[in-house]
Amino acid sequence: MKIMSKIRTAFFCQNCGYESAKWNGKCPSCGEWNTFVEERVLKDIPHKQADWKNNDTTSPRTHKIINLAEVVTKDEERILTPDNELNRVLGGGIVAGSLVLVGGEPGIGKSTLFLQNALQLKHIKTLYISGEESEQQIKMRADRIQNSNEQFYLLTETSTQTIFQEIKKLQPQLVIVDSIQTLHSPFIESAPGSVSQIRETTAELQRFAKESNTPVFLIGHITKDGSIAGPKVLEHMVDTVLQFEGDQHYAYRILRTIKNRFGSTAELGIYEMTGTGLRQVTNPSEILISQREDLLSGVAIAATMEGMRPLLVEVQALVTQSVYGTPQRTATGFDLRRLQLLLAVLEKRGGFHFGVKDVFLNIAGGIRVEDPAIDLAVLCALLSSYEDNAISPKICFSGEVGLSGEIRAVNRIEQRIAEAEKLGFEKIFISRYNKKGIDFSKFHIEVIAVGRVEEVYQRLF
């Protein structure tokens, strides 16, 4: 029943979710321009109607002042999934009553990842709510993953009211919503995917998760600029934000923790998309380094860290004579400005003439590396291609390069060295400043400490 007089409109910033009675050119909250959109909302609807319980019982929690010392903590209940990558990223399994948001570009494999996990949790009654695909489509995907589970239930529905009715009947132990942008609450007038809808439906699901102690996963699309479509408030409302990323043209996918109330945000899970679903990658370094017999110039291996995990990646560079007036610089998986900076360092400190060369840089495997310790390998790959002189595949590098050509120390050097040793490398180049307080005698790999770019060059070529 809709009563016209109760309908009101408000303006919402599409970036941060700020609500205003009038239109603003610039958002007073986040400072973005032209982000206000008018949305229709209903006036003062008591929220308990939308609640999953649908009755008047008040929350069992009583609020009174309590001395912190009297608060009893108990270990969080966690559901361990057979997927160790997911467990790790969540900080050790799915926390009861937690609300987890998973973002990722369309087609990256979010639905596959959660369908697959739900199908593997044989003893957990799981409800998968899909607003995007039909039962047949999901069944086809499940067949492709080659897994079935008697405790797996499917609901293709987008109205939160109906969803909560069904949840009340089924009493699931885990709920997955694919995707939050398709849901709509009957208490809000605006279209699914709008700021006010996303905010309201998430709030309803949050209440459900907390009051019933059921974990809820929300799948969300991200926009071109990489943020989860919908307001930033969404990220504040949930306990954990995960991001699923990767290059569409490669099989590798990375699940990253952006925010986690129950664990570290430095965690990372790696998967490979196969013809039968996602496969956990337990030893990522081995696949990220291409197997090769012959020596190629322009290739250098970097000992990087992705979160808490050491990861050896291959850097490929191609330096050729420029045929046009302005030399080209292209980087895939590495920051272009950082590449330009390294080229300037080589030009100025090493006297190399990159100004007349086209430079192409690629990180193998389609992954993106943010760790500054990759600098040294990038620099050596560039030099190797410039000189057309191959670097032995038994050598790897870990160091940041400063503007004056100095090799700077990086964090967790021991872990990096240990990983390189484990993978059979014979030499690793690190910064001289990383030597302090570390006992290198325990390593069998030869550790070469260098202070400047010139030293590396002399040692290599």
Q: Is 104 in the site for ligand TYD (CB under 6 A)?
A: yes
Separation of alpha carbons 319 and 362, rounded Å: 12
> What mask of x and - would describe binding to ligand TYD in positions 258 to 277, judged by CB under 6 A?
---------------x-xxx
Of the residues 14, 35, 81, 112, which one makes contact with ligand TYD according to CB under 6 A:
112
User: Minimum Å distance from CB 106 to Mg ion?
Assistant: 7
Separation of alpha carbons 391 and 161, rounded Å: 63
Amino acid residing at 303: A
195 binds, among Mg ion, ligand TYD, none (CB under 5 to 8 A by kind): none
Give per-residue burial for 200-210: e unless 16+ CB within 10 Å, then b.
Answer: bbbbbbbbbbb
Q: Which stretch binds Mg ion (CB under 5 A): 2-10, 110-118, 294-302, 408-416?
A: 110-118
CB distance 403 to 341 below 8 Å: yes
- The set of residues, in sequence order, having a beta carbon less than 8 Å from that of 9 and lying 6+ positions away, is 38, 39, 40, 41
Site for Mg ion in 317-356 (CB under 5 A): none
CB distance 335 to 361 below 8 Å: no
Residue 199 CA from chain centroid, whole number: 22
Nearest CB to ligand TYD, comparing residues 248 and 290: 248
User: Minimum Å distance from CB 111 to Mg ion?
Assistant: 3
Q: What is the DSSP letter of 447?
A: E
User: Minimum Å distance from CB 227 to ligand TYD?
Assistant: 16
Amino acid residing at 451: G
Q: Is 110 in the site for ligand TYD (CB under 6 A)?
A: yes
Q: Which stretch binds ligand TYD (CB under 6 A): 60-68, 103-111, 223-231, 297-305?
A: 103-111
Distances (CA, A) of 175 to 125, 154, 213: 9, 10, 11
> How many residues comprise the chain?
461
Q: Is 279 in the site for ligand TYD (CB under 6 A)?
A: no
Site for Mg ion in 125-164 (CB under 5 A): none
CB distance 142 to 119 below 8 Å: yes
Amino acid residing at 439: D
Q: Is 224 in the site for ligand TYD (CB under 6 A)?
A: no
What the block records as the tokens of 350 is 């090493």
CB distance 417 to 373 below 8 Å: no
Of the residues 25, 60, 107, 351, which one makes contact with ligand TYD according to CB under 6 A:
107
109 binds, among Mg ion, ligand TYD, none (CB under 5 to 8 A by kind): ligand TYD
The residue of the chain with the least Cβ separation from Mg ion equals: 111
User: Minimum Å distance from CB 141 to ligand TYD?
Assistant: 5
Give per-residue burial for 146-182: e unless 16+ CB within 10 Å, then b.
Answer: ebebebbbbbbbbebbebbeebeeeebbbbbbbbbbb
CA atoms within 13 A on the CB side of 202: 29
Which phi and psi angles does 457 have, rounded to 5°? -60, -45
Nearest CB to ligand TYD, comparing residues 226 and 355: 226
Q: Which residues pair with 41 in a beta bridge?
A: 8, 188
Q: Is 111 in the site for ligand TYD (CB under 6 A)?
A: yes
| 179: preceding bond cis by omega (within 30 degrees) | yes
Q: Is 242 in the site for ligand TYD (CB under 6 A)?
A: no
CB atoms within 10 A of CB 61: 7
Q: Which stretch binds ligand TYD (CB under 6 A): 101-109, 307-315, 405-413, 428-436?
A: 101-109
Q: Is 109 in the site for ligand TYD (CB under 6 A)?
A: yes
Nearest CB to ligand TYD, comparing residues 187 and 252: 252
- Nearest CA among 282, 303, 250 for reference residue 411: 303
Q: Which stretch binds ligand TYD (CB under 6 A): 141-149, 305-313, 360-368, 424-432?
A: 141-149
Total site size for ligand TYD, rule CB under 6 A: 15
Nearest CB to Mg ion, comparing residues 182 and 240: 182
Q: Is 106 in the site for ligand TYD (CB under 6 A)?
A: yes
Site for ligand TYD in 144-163 (CB under 6 A): 144-145
The helices-and-strands tally (H runs, E runs) of the chain is 11, 23
CA atoms within 13 A on the CB side of 54: 11
Separation of alpha carbons 461 and 445, rounded Å: 20
Nearest CB to Mg ion, comparing residues 109 and 298: 109
User: How do beta strands 277-280 and 268-274 pair?
Assistant: antiparallel
Q: Which stretch binds Mg ion (CB under 5 A): 63-71, 97-105, 106-114, 274-282?
A: 106-114
Q: Is 111 in the site for Mg ion (CB under 5 A)?
A: yes
226 binds, among ligand TYD, Mg ion, none (CB under 5 to 8 A by kind): none
User: Minimum Å distance from CB 257 to Mg ion?
Assistant: 20
449 binds, among ligand TYD, Mg ion, none (CB under 5 to 8 A by kind): none
Q: Which residues pair with 273 in a beta bridge?
A: 278
Nearest CB to ligand TYD, comparing residues 98 and 112: 112
Q: Which residues bind ligand TYD (CB under 6 A)?
A: 104, 106-112, 141, 144-145, 273, 275-277
Q: Which residues bind Mg ion (CB under 5 A)?
A: 111
